[in-house]
Amino acid sequence: MIVVIDADYNEEKHCAHAAGVLAESVFADKALDTVGAFVDGVGDYIPGQFYRRELKCAEAVMRRLDGREIELIVVDGYADSGTDEKALGTFVYEKFGVPVIGIAKNKYKKCMVPDTEVVRRGCKKPLYVTCAGMDPAAAKEWVAEMCGEYRLPLLVKLADKAARDWTLGAEENERERKMRIETDRLIITDFTPDMAEAVHMNSLDEDNRRFVPDEVFETVEEARETLEFLIGQYGGEEGPFVHPVLLRSGENIGYVQLVRIPDGWELGYHIAKAHTGKGYATEASCAFLPAMAEKMGLSEIIGVCLAENKASVRVMEKLGFEPVFRGVGPYQGEQREIVRNIWRAAKEG
């Protein structure tokens, strides 16, 4: 079985709808199935670096395939650049270990792979075909013989059409994605497995080691294991409910969370050191607090920070938390000087 993947982008909201068309073989004259997936936090288009956002779309489609055995992946773009700069298809091949054919409609001038042009029957304008994990001559021959008249193969057209149909996969997406909050500068959404490296890097800064050492992930694998657990909590009732904070460019800069403690629910947040001092923690938490309070039917949320963490104390003040205790208390398994605060939801009417 093969899958042909394409994506359609909403540049304003920095999200995408990805689609995968499944077929019996690359020469099939019909699709066996079509899947759709929504992708949050995709970055801006950067010439020559399309993979930076297209890879997230390919990963989202592959997660939708429910373990079906895929023998070939076809992507919209280049699979090999012939240089040290990896193309989209190379990343997909390395990620999934399945041969990849890249079909590009436009020539990438920096591509050093020779003889990539394929002129299909009935058309004078070529496609540009590259591959990863298979013989380039075979890839070109297969694309030339794919079903469909004129320039674009049938399965490629079907994938393009499916990507533009944002209703495809909407029901699955509604079940899977429970969070999307937008502010002027930020997007708060759900974690996905591909965020492991960003979570690992964001956790390593000095303030995180100092104030929340149990949230430092020394390796990408540690971060990935934690993400698997956190993703599994979405849709439940016990939490913790931890959600990434993204810039509108798609860059992952931290998280906000709501965690059950013995006497209620506690707010937590972390913004990576490179992005502190810009009000992101306040902006994210200000949107997150009322949304979670309404969702979970909470009238109060607790906030606890170390007294020495002046930045966090200021964030709590800006968010409207009321300090109710200052002194020695439990923190991260130790007795430390803390400030305990209460946030109260606004009363209707």
State both tokens at 205.
């800064």
If you average pLDDT over residues 292-310, what whole number do you get? 92
Strand order in the sheet with 181-182: 181-182, 186-188, 241-247, 252-261, 264-271, 300-306, 334-344, 322-331
Q: Is the pTM of this model over 0.75?
A: no
Least trusted range by pLDDT, from 230-234, 275-279, 327-331:
230-234
Q: Quote the pLDDT of residue 70.
A: 96
Closest CA to 139 of 176, 98, 103, 93: 103
3-class DSSP state of 64? coil
Q: Quote the pLDDT of residue 16.
A: 87
CB 162 within 8 A of CB 23: no
Q: Of 249-253, 330-334, 344-348, which one has max mean pLDDT? A: 249-253
3-class DSSP state of 241? strand
If you average pLDDT over residues 123-142, what whole number do you get? 95
If you average pLDDT over residues 310-326, what whole number do you get? 94
Q: Count H helices, E strands: the chain?
A: 10, 15
Q: Quote the pLDDT of residue 318.
A: 95
Q: Quote the pLDDT of residue 172.
A: 66
CA distance 152 to 161: 12
Least trusted range by pLDDT, from 131-140, 214-223, 270-279:
214-223
Least trusted range by pLDDT, from 14-18, 199-203, 246-250, 290-294:
14-18
Residue 349 has pLDDT above 60, yes or no: no
Residue 49 has pLDDT above 80, yes or no: no
CA distance 152 to 18: 19
Domains, the chain: 2-172 (3.30.2170.10), 178-344 (3.40.630.30)
pLDDT category, 44, cuts 50, 70, 90? low
CA distances from 168 to 64, 159, 175, 215 (A): 12, 12, 14, 37
The dihedral region occupied by 320, where left means phi > 0, alpha psi between -120 and 50, and beta the remainder, is left
Higher pLDDT, 108 or 210: 108
DSSP annotation of 193:
G
CA–centroid distance for 215 within its chain: 20
